[in-house]
Amino acid sequence: MKAARPLPEYLVRRYQGWKATTYSDNRAWYRTLAAEGQHPRAMVISCCDSRVHVTSIFGADSGEFFIHRNIANLVPPYNPDGDHHGTSAALEYAVTALKVAHVIVLGHSSCGGVAGCNAMCSGQAPELESKTSFVGTWLNILRPGYERVADLPDDKRVAALEKEAVLVSLENLASFPFVKEAMDKGTLSIHGLWNNIGEGTLDMYDADEGKFVQI
């Protein structure tokens, strides 16, 4: 792999700082984690967005959350066709091998992926509709959510679609047989959240109310 380059020096220095402080102060725990393996309580599915780090929001310890991050925190529908499905593989591993007790889908405001889906579905982004656009084909997962908010005025539609990204993912989660089975047995529960980046608020989907409510 000739093309690989050295790590930028500022990251080397930061790593060395971490090694001398955080790692050094927690060596015993890192060694236990290495020797005993991980036993995370929850899987979190969140966006790749650099502004949303779930470990910060929830003061998470190393070993606490199994975290999958993709564009717009989407879970595709169950489709065991033998192709490479990274999200489905992460979900299967978390539920069947690690036996996590929770799957938490965390959406957020100002999501570029969701904005792209809105543009695509409303005909303003033909480049995303090309079969060769990975982003466009990925965001197609959210199209059923778009249909439910298509009639909203422009200024409200994107915010509503960010929450649909959480709901569509929760719906698709339940289409996986191993998720359904664990939920039926009472060993797995699923949760929907949406974070407003600028305000620092967190909304939780309330199934009884049928809407998101601020915590």
Residues 11-50 that bind its own copies (CB under 8 A): 11-41, 43, 48-50
Counted residue by residue, the chain has a size of 215
* Cα radius of gyration (the chain): 19
Within positions 96 to 135, which residues make up the interface with its own copies, using CB under 8 A?
A: 97-102, 104, 109-110, 112-113, 131-135
Within positions 182 to 201, which residues make up the interface with its own copies, using CB under 8 A?
A: 182-183, 185-193, 196-201
Binds its own copies by CB under 8 A, chosen from 118, 138, 149, 158: 138
Within positions 143 to 162, which residues make up the interface with its own copies, using CB under 8 A?
A: none
111 is in an annotated binding site: yes
Which neighbouring-strand residues pair with 44? Answer: 67, 104
Tokens of 22: 């955080």
Measured CA to CA, the distance from residue 157 to residue 149 in angstroms comes to 6
3-state secondary structure of 147: helix
121 is in an annotated binding site: no
215 is an interface residue for its own copies by CB under 8 A: yes
Complex with its own copies: residue 21 or 122, whichever CB lies closer: 21
What is the residue type of 20?
Answer: A
CA-to-CA separations, 109 to 52, 63, 115, in angstroms, rounded: 10, 27, 10
Contact 88, 175 (CB under 8 A): no
Complex with its own copies: residue 28 or 154, whichever CB lies closer: 28
Tokens of 58: 């929830």
Binds its own copies by CB under 8 A, chosen from 60, 119, 159, 160: 60
Binds its own copies by CB under 8 A, chosen from 114, 120, 121, 140: 140
- What's the farthest any 2 CA atoms get from each other in the chain? 56
Residue positions forming the annotated binding site? 47, 49, 108, 111
Residue set of the binding site for Zn(2+) = 47, 49, 108, 111
